[in-house]
Amino acid sequence: MTKNATWDTHVHLFDPRCFPFARNRSYTPGPASTQDLLQIMKVGDIDRAVIVQPSVYGNDNACLLHALDTLGDRARGVAVADPAMLGHATISNMRARGVRGFRVNLVSHPEARNGTRAVQDMAAALAGSGMFLQIYAPIETVLRHVETITHAGVPVVLDHFSGIEAEGHEGLLNDLLHHIASAPVWIKMSADYKLGTDRNSAQKRARSMIQACVELRPDHVIWGSDWPHTSGGAERKARAFGEIEPFRKVDSHAIPKLFETCNLNASKIRKIMCDNPMRLFEPGRAR
């Protein structure tokens, strides 16, 4: 794995034919296979992808692990598990297969009701393992638990611009960036289409947030496409259980295409796309 490899640090896979979805899922996506992923990587000139366990699989990481076994050095993973079940042997085995972190979902999972406990329990389970903790939560929730996050004792990755969406005030992101200024907390710039009610407003906010993240956390910011772009929103709630939810038709590489318009030079872009993810996902190789 070369140091200058380009990374997409947030994709999902859905293979219901081989790996059935959880019965208590909140939506039913269409298929998104390993071969589909390789194609989108080819189109975007991406060398490495990080597969993030989606909520429709719950704690069953079989689909994720199968993909990691198949893709080898081209992929790494972020799994989901009950921290009480994460013993040394389990973590070591999953790390050997390419898992580098575990995700806490404070949006669609029961632990959302007690975010501090969920973060503390996972951080304790991962302590000393070399794994990071990834958090999916609205920015208001992230700020509410910011002391727990900054003192987690393991690296923390915050999904989707730290959970700020169309309704969130940009000042919340700046508040967060100052709170985490000296902590091992990473911001993942992903799901830009959630930042506004239309493409133009979303891109305008994305530019502003990219500039803020790079200015204040240049060594702790990464990019992820969020491919294949599940929908959510009111449409999801209105769908009958089991009805297939269509993916959004958006540009998977929209954020990197904004970098030059954000006045990021080649060195800063290389940090986001190559150097920073290498340090996070392969710390032993990032020299």
> In sequence order, what are the residues at sequence separation of 6 or more whose Cβ sits closer than 8 angstroms to the Cβ of residue 149?
119, 135, 142, 156, 158, 180, 183, 185
Statement: residue 55 has pLDDT above 60: yes
pLDDT in tens, 13-47: 999 999 999 999 999 999 999 999 999 999 999 99
List the chain domain ranges. 7-281
Q: How large is the average pLDDT for residues 162-172?
A: 88
Query: Can you tell me the distance from the alpha carbon of 253 to that of 248, in angstroms, rounded to the nearest whole number?
Result: 14
The whole-angstrom separation of Cα 82 and Cα 250 is: 33
Q: For 77-95, what is each residue's pLDDT tens digit?
A: 999 999 999 999 999 999 9
Q: Is the pLDDT of residue 112 over 60?
A: no
CATH number of 7-281: 3.20.20.140
CA 65 to chain centre: 17
